[in-house]
Structure 1
Amino acid sequence: MRNPLLDLAEKSSLRENPLKFGVGDTVDVHTRILEGSKERIQIFAGVVIATRGRGMNEMFTVRRIVAGEGVERTFPMNSPKVADVVVKRHARVRRAKLFYLRDRIGKATRLRERRARAGEAETNT
């Protein structure tokens, strides 16, 4: 049970239009990087293997393979450092955490693609 006063205080810091993706989706996370006085966007592409928390504590973990080595990064959902999350592919998964992908290599890491339903429109901006 959460305190309604804490929810009210958090509401101002939450993202106005929440990010829409799920576990198993292949995403591009656009992250703001500050280098001196300049700001640039860096893209981290991978599969969402976990989400946790809620409100200001909500986080998601993205995993990708770089030079044969698995790299995972955890991003805060409501952080201003996360500029955008673009969903490239939806996957059909049967569990909330995909930690079993850590033990797999190559083609064994592929997930089944989820087809869009008849009334569901793809809106990737």
Structure 2
Amino acid sequence: MNELIKFVEAENAARRAELPEFSAGDTINVYIKIREGAKERIQVFQGTVIQRRNSGAGEMFTVRKISNSIGVEKIFPLLSPNIEKIEVLRRGKVRRARLFYLRGKQGRAAKVRELVKKK
């Protein structure tokens, strides 16, 4: 049993190395494979990471965006084969790991400050 778990974790380690580091507050593009019948296409979901939860093979993250003044959230498994790639557009400066308070905000109040690295 342990050998199977180690095999799966080793396989996931290679996939995890391809993905960029990101955390709550970051704005990211998630490229998702969408299957419609026999056709497959890539759709981009751009938004702010609200949370990351769990660890290992079961790690998931939640991304929130505002579309036509309606908040849309999607939960993605980090190691899902349906995720083509993840791009980090900007880093957010936040003081907590879960940003559920953004659900009650609108407009400028729903923005996260950008993290500026000093040289």
Tell me if both proteins adopt one fold, taking TM over 0.5 as the criterion: yes
User: Shift in Å at residue 18 of structure 1?
Assistant: 3.4
Q: Secondary structure at the match of 2:18?
A: coil
Identity of aligned residues (%): 43
Deviation at 1:55, TM superposition (A): 1.0
Contact preservation (8 Å) 2:19, 2:85: no
Does 2:43 align with 1:45? no
Structure 2 alignment gaps of length 5 or more: none
Partner of 2:63: 62
Q: How many residues align?
A: 116
The question of whether the paired residues in 2 share the 8 Å contact of 1:53 and 1:59 is answered with yes
Q: CA deviation at 1:21?
A: 1.0
C-alpha distance in structure 2 between counterparts of 1:114 and 1:79, whole Å:
28
Shift of 1:11: 1.5
Decide whether the 8 Å contact of 2:34 with 2:40 is kept in 1.
yes
**Do 1:13 and 1:78's aligned partners in 2 also have CA atoms closer than 8 Å?**
no
Task: Indicate the residue corresponding to 2:6 in structure 1.
Answer: 8
Question: What runs of 5+ residues in structure 1 fail to find an aligned partner?
Answer: 119-125
For residues 99 and 4 of structure 2, the distance between their equivalents in structure 1, rounded to whole angstroms, comes to 31
Matches within 5 A, 1:1-125: 5=3, 7-14=5-12, 15=15, 16-118=17-119
How far apart, CA to CA, are the structure 2 residues paired with 1:96 and 1:69? Answer: 23
Superposed CA offset, 1:57-97 (max 9, x none): 10000001111111100000001101111111111100000
* Contact in 2 for aligned 1:10/1:55 (Cα 8 Å): no
Q: Which amino acid letter does the alignment assign opposite residue 114 of structure 2?
A: E
CA offsets 1:30-81 (integer angstroms, 9 cap, x no match):
0011122221100011000000011111000000111111110000000110
The 2-side partners of 1:116 and 1:28 are apart by 21
Shift of 1:4: 5.6
Deviation at 1:6, TM superposition (A): 6.2
Q: Which protein has the bigger helix share? A: 2
